[in-house]
């Protein structure tokens, strides 16, 4: 164990994909990740069990980050019972891709409400508890290359991810004097089950690195931003995209 021992870090959307990799990486480096899921409780419990193997408490939270009241209730109950987090990784998100003329209002609302609305829903109940601890804290949000440069078929997703960048930077300004850093990680093409069926050879023609990233490569950046050594880094967007943009 090191100085990060017992520091609780909430990782939303950590039952699979990049979020799972972040939770496991944090546990392997002495943090105590709180695993969160929307619906796949079994997968979240499996991630938590792996975290326990590394000495973490293995807590699991289940709530819909797009549901403001349910999110507030779940978070307030958790910190009341188990204590405040040292860090939050706002990773959960959804995509409903399609050409913009064919994009329904529901497609727009679901993606914006969950991804960008999730920023408010998750972080608003936690900000004052963060401040009251009078200790350094870390918030890492997850955007996307889609939020940086826009992506065909993802007008809703790009909007939500670009919104997260703006919200992250503004919150960073508000919290900087409290020694709470707020940064954003923007992954490019990462090998997860979301990209499994995509024609990677074609997509990667636009990527100078010539390969997809691995979830662990995103997790390593998140872990650094959570570390004590990253105390002077705030209001930043860190791309993990093989030079894609």
Residues involved in catalysis: 157
Q: Which of 42, 69, 193, 197 binds other proteins (CB under 8 A)?
A: 197
Considering only 27-35, 75-83, 129-137, 197-205, which stretch makes contact with other proteins by CB under 8 A?
A: 197-205
Considering only 29-37, 96-104, 142-150, 183-191, which stretch makes contact with other proteins by CB under 8 A?
A: 96-104
Least distance in Å: CB of 218 to other proteins? 22
Least distance in Å: CB of 94 to other proteins? 11
Distance of alpha carbon 172 from alpha carbon 182, whole angstroms? 5
Longest dimension (CA), the chain: 53
3-state secondary structure 195-243: CCCCCHHHHHHHCCCCCCECHHHHHHHHHHHHCHHHCCCCCCEEEECCC
Considering only 102-110, 114-122, 141-149, 217-225, which stretch makes contact with other proteins by CB under 8 A?
A: 102-110
Give the footprint of other proteins on residues 124-153 (CB under 8 A).
Answer: 152-153
* 105 binding other proteins? (CB under 8 A): no
Q: What are phi and psi of 149, to 5 degrees?
A: -120, -5
Q: Which residues of 99-117 are buried (b: 16+ CB within 10 A; e: fewer)?
A: eeeebeeebbebbbbbbbb
Binding site for other proteins (CB under 8 A): 96-99, 101-102, 104, 107, 152-153, 197-199, 202
């Amino acid at each position: 164990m090191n100085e990060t021992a017992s520091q609780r870090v909430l990782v939303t959307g950590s039952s699979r994909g990049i979020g799972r990799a972040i939770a496991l990486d944090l546990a392997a480096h002495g943090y105590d990740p709180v695993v969160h899921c929307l619906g796949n409780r079994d997968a979240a419990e499996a991630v938590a069990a792996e975290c326990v193997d590394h000495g973490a408490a293995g807590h699991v939270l289940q709530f819909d980050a797009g549901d403001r009241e349910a999110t507030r209730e779940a978070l307030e109950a958790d910190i009341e019972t188990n204590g405040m987090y040292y860090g939050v990784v706002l990773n959960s998100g959804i995509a409903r891709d399609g050409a913009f003329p064919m994009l329904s209002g529901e497609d727009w609302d679901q993606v914006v409400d969950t991804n960008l609305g999730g920023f408010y829903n998750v972080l608003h109940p936690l900000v004052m508890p963060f401040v009251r601890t009078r200790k350094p804290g870390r918030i890492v949000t997850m955007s996307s290359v889609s939020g940086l440069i826009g992506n065909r078929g993802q007008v809703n997703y790009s909007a939500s991810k670009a919104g997260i960048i703006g919200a992250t930077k503004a919150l960073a300004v508000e919290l900087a004097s409290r020694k709470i850093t707020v940064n954003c990680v923007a992954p490019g093409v990462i090998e997860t089950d979301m990209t499994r069926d995509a024609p990677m050879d074609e997509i990667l023609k636009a990527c100078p690195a010539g390969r997809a990233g691995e979830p662990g490569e995103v997790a390593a950046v998140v872990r650094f931003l959570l570390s004590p050594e990253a105390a002077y880094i705030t209001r930043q967007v860190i791309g993990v995209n093989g030079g894609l943009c």
